[in-house]
Structure 1
Amino acid sequence: MTTLVVCVDRSNDISQKTGLELPVSGWEAVHALVTDVGLADPEDSSVNCLLESLRVARDLRDEQEDAVVAVVGGVGDSLVGTDRSVAGQLDQLVETYDPDSAIVVIDSAQDERVVPIVESRLTVDSVDRVVVRQAHDIESTYYLLKQFLGDEELRSTVLVPLGIGLLLLPLLLLQFGPEVALAALASLLGAVLLYKGLAIDDRLATAVERGRDALYSGQVSIVTYVVAAGLALVGVFLGALAAQGVGTDAEYVQVLLFAYRSVPWLALAALTASTGRLLDEFIQSDGAGAPYLNLPFGVVAVGLVVRGFSGYFLEQESVLAHLRLPNGLVLTPTERLAVFVVSGLVVSLIGVSVTARMSDETLDDVVDQ
């Protein structure tokens, strides 16, 4: 009784890497083939498949059975051509050795599809599936995880917030229920991601030093930034009061009223901060770039446009009275919106003109020097 131990390589990697024509049969030939494949690609799982074929053939011979080990592979541009090539190689082996049964050795699901082709020619006693214990992906994951755990910065960034969240989760579940607990945990993780993603930690680390340098160097912007922060708080406070005092529960009306009341203060805050920055540029550099020159005009223009649109919608909802000019003329909502939009465009154009003029003068000064 002769058993054919056949190693199936449907993708034909063995033939391509060694340059040998399949089928290859016989103990010595397959044993030499293992070395050739291993030298060509040590990470190829075909090496393990070939070794398993040799092991199965050896065990059968130890049990006093005739065993022939062979390797077949698919050659062709299509799946049909590949399978027909495997069938032809099997026919050649059957004609040469006249085996009574076969044991198929495979290392992938793709190779397993060839099993019916073998069964159509021989009785298949067993299908031996080779699974490599130390897969490359698993090994890579292990070393990446080990490297991650060895990095102190990554541990403090990821593991510490995650550990805090897991510690708080049971307490929040007992105290507030699953919805609040999950929401709090998601908020914590989201805050950590934003904290690191926006590099807030780096900014905070240098904020004290930058503030001290700004005070010692006499920068005007350090004072204007404080004033701007106060004006912004006033704007937010007045906007919140206006939104709460409106006699409607419509949320969009409250948002519009908040924007209408707070925008002048917020624009004034941004104008104060940008003016301080502009003065610092003039003092330190004997001139200022176009972005710094155009910023105050852009802030005023945006404030006018936002206030115009919010006032227009509030007038449509009868929350805001019609605008009355000093000469007694009353503007309709559309006329009011047009006045604010046109005013914003005019301020923006003035800023562009001033910036272009200042830039030209600076360029002329450089050329004269």
Structure 2
Amino acid sequence: MTTLVVCLDRTDDVGRKTGLRSPVVGWEAVRSLVTDVGLADPEDSGVNSLLETLRVAQDLRDENEEVVVAVVSGDRESMVSADRAVATQLDDLVADYDPDSAVVVIDSAEDERLVPIVESRVRVDSVDRVVVRQARDIESTYYLLKQFLADEELRQTVLVPIGLTLLVFPILATVVGPAEGAAAITTVIGIFLLYKGFNVDELLTRAAHQIRESLYSGQVSVVTYVVAAGLTLVGLFAGALGVSNLEDAPGVVIPAMQFAFDSIPWLAMAALTASAGRLLDEAIGDHPIRRSFLNLPFIVVSVALVVRGFSAYFLEQQRVIDPFIVPANEFGVLSNERFVVTAGERLALFVVTGIVVSLVGARIASYFSESQGDETELADGGEDGDAASGATPVPDADADLPSELTDGGPGTESSPADEPSDAASNGDSDAQTDAERTD
């Protein structure tokens, strides 16, 4: 099977720049033509077309196909004469090499008009359109647009929003006015861009998959997450309610502090509930509990205490809340008068308590991690009981003796002169065995 890999040049750019007459046939001839065209005009896209022709021919040769490489150019006088020149050259190639099929390589919309001429003379299996990424001409833009329109995902991402915008904007402009319609369209486009930019669709898909897996596996965290979501809503409502009760609060600092002061207990309970669910899942599972899950509840409480303390400090400074007062006889015989805690003392108390709670959590998490590590090592050592206990196996008394002595062969006879030494060696062996047993 012979395949003709032909590069088409309707305007004869190759002949005009190199002075060569077409057709140019053969691997080495086309390879030399690439150098000539590149030296004449390095910015010409025809260099890339010639290189693509050689690459396609090389791939077909690697598949054990008979390949004929050729470059066919037209005429510069007119389009009709150019097409007739290409047709004449193709007739000569078909008559000389009798190809069974052809692969056409082009680099412009002008050259694409020659494809029907090739199809009328030989079967065209493929049309390779070369698009140079650095090119700035209209022809390359045309091919880029065609590739863009051929991509289904890009069409749905770009063309669908533009089409909806063009359809909805006239309706909104008629109903609510041009300005309101443009604002609504801009808002929707902004939301869509943020949705795609932050990969919200992938996050939602991953979250749905995790929820489904959690429901099927019976994890406790599913219920605790629902409870945590409810507590979060309660906390947000409590914070908003506290802000709404403020009277003539200037700026945004005091409303923000009021919102944090009222909502942080509920938000802390929500975080504790969620972390407790994850901790129970870790405890029920086969793997050891990770240190981060043990330390998370204490971190939540510490952060809640610190935020509550700072928000209370600012609110007390602005006289939004009353100072903390310890009632009389609170300390028994130590005090019979009320004790007023100032804003600074309250802040210091909350901050110190938060730091202490975080340190306690870190110590508890470290203790449980070390305990689990010791249990894991003991469990691994139990499988190799002898190796873990450090016991030395007792050697066999006959293990190191020669085969003649153990088989009762000739080696069992000994001279009288050797009997004392044998007895001594036996004594040493018995002593060594007793010492090993004692160890």
TM-score, structure 2 length as denominator?
Answer: 0.52
Partner residue in 2 for 1:224: 224
Partner residue in 1 for 2:136: 137
Matched, 1:211 2:221: no
Matched, 1:155 2:155: yes
Partner residue in 2 for 1:297: 298
**Kindly tell me: are residues 178 and 40 of structure 1, through their superposed partners in 2, closer, same or farther at Cα, counting changes over 3 Å?**
same
Partner residue in 2 for 1:340: 350
SS at match of 1:231: helix
Equivalents in 1 of 2:227, 2:45: separation in Å? 73
Partner residue in 1 for 2:416: none
- Runs of 4+ in structure 1 deviating by more than 6 angstroms, as ranges, are none
Residue pair 2:302, 2:357 contacting (<8 A) in 1 also: yes
What is the CA distance between 1:214 and its match in structure 2? 1.8
Equivalents in 2 of 1:35, 1:281: separation in Å? 66
Letter in 2 for 1:287: P
Matched, 1:192 2:192: yes
Equivalents in 1 of 2:310, 2:238: separation in Å? 19
Q: After the TM superposition, which residues 11-90 of structure 1 pair with which residues of structure 2 at under 5 Å, given as runs?
A: 31=19, 37-40=36-39, 43-45=42-44
**Kindly tell me: are residues 135 and 346 of structure 1, through their superposed partners in 2, closer, same or farther at Cα, counting changes over 3 Å?**
closer
Equivalents in 2 of 1:340, 1:276: separation in Å? 27
Residue pair 2:305, 2:353 contacting (<8 A) in 1 also: yes
Q: After the TM superposition, which residues 163-312 of structure 1 pair with which residues of structure 2 at under 5 Å, given as runs?
A: 163-177=163-177, 180-252=180-252, 253-312=254-313
- Where does structure 2 lack aligned partners over 5 or more consecutive residues? 1-15, 21-32, 48-76, 78-132, 331-337, 381-439
Equivalents in 2 of 1:135, 1:212: separation in Å? 48
Equivalents in 2 of 1:46, 1:225: separation in Å? 60
Equivalents in 1 of 2:181, 2:354: separation in Å? 47
RMSD value, Cα:
3.4
Letter in 1 for 2:289: A
Equivalents in 1 of 2:317, 2:177: separation in Å? 44
Residue pair 2:18, 2:37 contacting (<8 A) in 1 also: no
Partner residue in 1 for 2:98: none
Give % identity. 48
Residue pair 2:275, 2:297 contacting (<8 A) in 1 also: yes
**Kindly tell me: are residues 167 and 317 of structure 1, through their superposed partners in 2, closer, same or farther at Cα, counting changes over 3 Å?**
farther
1:260-296 alpha-carbon deviations (Å, 9 max, x no partner): 1011101110110111011111211342212222221
- Where does structure 1 lack aligned partners over 5 or more consecutive residues? 1-27, 49-57, 59-133
1:334-353 alpha-carbon deviations (Å, 9 max, x no partner): 11111111122112112211
What is the CA distance between 1:43 and its match in structure 2? 4.6
Which sits farther off after the overlay, 229-238 or 213-222?
A: 213-222
Letter in 1 for 2:260: A
Which structure's relative contact order is higher, taking Cα pairs within 8 Å and 6+ residues apart?
A: 1
Matched, 1:353 2:363: yes
**Kindly tell me: are residues 295 and 29 of structure 1, through their superposed partners in 2, closer, same or farther at Cα, counting changes over 3 Å?**
closer
Structure label with greater radius of gyration: 2
Letter in 2 for 1:347: V
Which sits farther off after the overlay, 225-234 or 358-367?
A: 358-367
What is the CA distance between 1:42 and its match in structure 2? 6.2
Equivalents in 2 of 1:144, 1:299: separation in Å? 54
Letter in 1 for 2:240: A
What is the CA distance between 1:223 and its match in structure 2? 0.4
Aligned residues: 259
Residue pair 2:38, 2:44 contacting (<8 A) in 1 also: no
1:114-134 alpha-carbon deviations (Å, 9 max, x no partner): xxxxxxxxxxxxxxxxxxxx9
Letter in 1 for 2:356: V
**Kindly tell me: are residues 35 and 247 of structure 1, through their superposed partners in 2, closer, same or farther at Cα, counting changes over 3 Å?**
closer
Residue pair 1:37, 1:47 contacting (<8 A) in 2 also: no
Equivalents in 2 of 1:176, 1:313: separation in Å? 45
Equivalents in 2 of 1:361, 1:177: separation in Å? 70
Which sits farther off after the overlay, 260-269 or 182-191?
A: 182-191
